[in-house]
Chain A
Amino acid sequence: MSQHRPYEPVIGLEVHAQLLTRSKAFCSCSTEFGNDPNSNVCPVCLGLPGVLPVLNARVVEFVIRMGLATHCTIARKSVFARKNYFYPDLPKGYQISQYEDPICTDGFVEIELEDGSKKNIGITRIHMEEDAGKSIHDLDVDTLVDVNRCGVPLIEIVSKPDLRSPHEAYQYLSAMKQIVTYLGICDGNMEEGSLRCDANVSVRPVGSVTLGTKTELKNLNSFRFVEKALQYEINRQIALLESGGQVVQETLLWNPDQGVAIPMRSKEEAHDYRYFPEPDLVPVLVPEEQIESVRKTLPEFPMARRDRYIAEYSLPKYDADILTESRDLAEYFEATVRALKRRNPETAKMASNWTMTDVLRVVRERHIEIRDFPIQPERLAGMIDLIADGTISSKIAKDLFEEMLASGDHPGIIVKAKGLVQVSDEGAIERAVAEVLEKNPEQVLKYKSGKHQVFGYFVGETMKIMKGKANPKLVNDILKKKLES
């Protein structure tokens, strides 16, 4: 019996990404989100008789970008196909997709495993298709249909069954999100449906090379429950096999509220889509020159960028990970570093700290995008220069940062106007230190008897007298000297 043999999961993901085009895939209707129901529509996306679709050139450009970013082969000729099924939110009765000749094939994406090592996850294909409309089931006794989303361009990215754990699946999905947002082809928002994920899941005894029977898990539409849903399904399949049962090939719908996957009412013909070439759309030919010109517009990708930050700026991996999470943040940080007068590992680390903590904090508090952050990278760099050359202390910098946020002025101007310049006049600091020690004979005795934790108190008191402007290093040095003399 093999009941104690451990099982390994085999997971493949199908990711749909909604493209950030202005108009729909095959008509000129707006793709804008949140408009009145059935207001972004025309005879083409309503599926009225006698109309002809015309392909949006930007859809092709975007899918080529994605294909190149994931090391795919770009097909010189690809063809659209009709995928036939009946559902009220699909007025034509078919979805325009690609079947036999997808535009991108055979690529890979690099993910990072828990032990820090890297693994390539194969991509079988990426194809172009259109979205369906929206059915609303809970507003009326009948189902209500909004066709606005119908015809909005999507790409479907199909991975090979290379994922071996729910965590790997999560990492893959995060990588997808990072790539599409870096490329600027999709906003990557899973909660709002711009990025959607279905999974094919099977399990097999470790060491086995054949695949077990798979189930399709749909509706994994939040980063929060992708891992949970996959783990649920893996556990279910293992329990089934261990009790002598068999996995049935079926489609399950993840229910996040109940934390269970529910089989969709099984219909044998559900997957009988009777694909055939779309006669209304001519083949898409991609010349080599187009591939090369798109290749030139590709940005530097997160992992490469992260490795470069570590090598070039000596940043810790932790910093590099956070800074490269989004392209906007990475570019803000880099612009800051570029603008520094003195560029070295120390000032780069300061730029990293300010970006990761203070900049991100304000961005989150104000619910704004990095590109709308009021302090320009050059100004932040100016402030870091002032800290680095000893003009202001890090403590004063915190106040200066707030001033810059409020007024948008150049840091040098604020420092002059508000008298924030750091005092490095040893005489002045010595006088303040003497005053503090004189006023606190008991604390001085404590210190001299070995209770060194009162040191911080002396620093604080000295700073108070100096109105926070004293050079902290000098304060420390002078205090030590006086206390230990």
Chain B
Amino acid sequence: MVTVKDVEHIAKLARLEFSEEEKQKFTHQLNRILEYVEKLNQLDTATVEPLSHVIDLQNRMRDDVVRPGLTAEEALMNAPAKTDKFFKVPKTVKGEEGG
């Protein structure tokens, strides 16, 4: 069961803000989706390999060769805030990164 608390948690992770009304609505919708998917549990999948990709392709790779990309000017062209060389974002505290 998805609760309003779960929705708030996921919203926070996704940096989204919802009204109380929206939270109720999404809680209901998410539960409906999970109920629907739950149907799959009626099947015996013990001998089926988990599927991570729907297309049957493997090992699509490129050689380790450098090709020109964009210039800094092009890269920064659509940035909402920038200096002449950097993207500019609101101050973040050092050491908060994940990874």
Contact = CB atoms under 8 A, between A and B. Distances in A.
Nearest to B91: A143
B64 A269 contact: no
B52 interface: yes
Given A54-B61, A283-B58, A284-B59, A38 B72 contact: yes
Contact of B86 (A83, A144, A279): A144
Interface stretch (B8-16, B25-33, B39-47): B8-16
A57 B90 contact: no
Contacts of A143: 88-92
B9 A145 contact: no
A282 B98 contact: no
A253 interface: yes
A147 B60 CA distance: 25
A22 B95 contact: no
A58 interface: yes
B88 to A, nearest CB: 5
A140 B88 contact: yes
A28 B62 contact: yes
B17 interface: no
B57 to A, nearest CB: 4
Contacts of A481: none
A38 B89 contact: no
A145 B99 contact: no
A129 B71 CA distance: 25
Interface in A82-97: 83-90, 95
B76 A38 contact: yes
A40 B85 CA distance: 12
Given A38-B86, A147-B75, A269 B57 contact: no
B66 A28 contact: yes
A86 B67 contact: no
Interface string A262-275: 00110001101110
B62 A146 contact: no
Contacts of A437: none
A273 B86 contact: no
B83 A282 contact: no
B88 A54 contact: no
Nearest to A153: B64
Nearest to B94: A137
B1 interface: no
A27 interface: yes
Contacts of A145: 86-89
Contacts of B94: 135, 137
B97 A89 contact: yes
A144 B61 CA distance: 33
Interface in A34-55: 36-43, 45-46, 54-55
A276 B56 CA distance: 18
A371 to B, nearest CB: 21
A284 B58 CA distance: 6
Nearest to B9: A269
Interface string A224-260: 0000000000000000000000000000010000000
Given A29-B69, A41-B69, A269-B9, A264 B59 contact: no
Nearest to B49: A77
A22 B66 contact: yes
B37 interface: no
A454 interface: no
A83 B90 CA distance: 23
Contacts of B87: 38, 88, 144-147
Contacts of A265: 93, 96
B20 interface: no
B72 A264 contact: no
A334 B96 CA distance: 48
B81 interface: yes
Contacts of B64: 21-23, 56-58
B70 A41 contact: yes
B63 interface: yes
Contact of B52 (A23, A58, A135, A283): A283
A28 B67 contact: yes
Contacts of A274: 13
Interface in A44-86: 45-46, 54-58, 60, 77, 79, 83-86
B63 to A, nearest CB: 6
B60 A86 contact: no
A219 interface: yes
A277 interface: yes
A285 interface: yes
Nearest to B60: A282
Given A37-B72, A87-B98, A282-B53, 5 more contacts: A22-B66, A28-B65, A42-B70, A219-B95, A269-B13
Interface of A: 21-23, 27-30, 36-43, 45-46, 54-58, 60, 77, 79, 83-90, 95, 132, 135-137, 139-147, 218-219, 253, 264-265, 269-270, 272-274, 277, 279, 282-285
**4 nearest CB pairs, A to B:** A42-B69, A85-B98, A28-B67, A144-B86
20 contacts: A23-B65, A28-B65, A54-B60, A57-B62, A60-B61, A85-B99, A87-B99, A90-B97, A137-B91, A143-B92, A144-B88, A144-B89, A272-B13, A282-B57, A283-B52, A283-B53, A283-B58, A283-B59, A284-B58, A285-B58
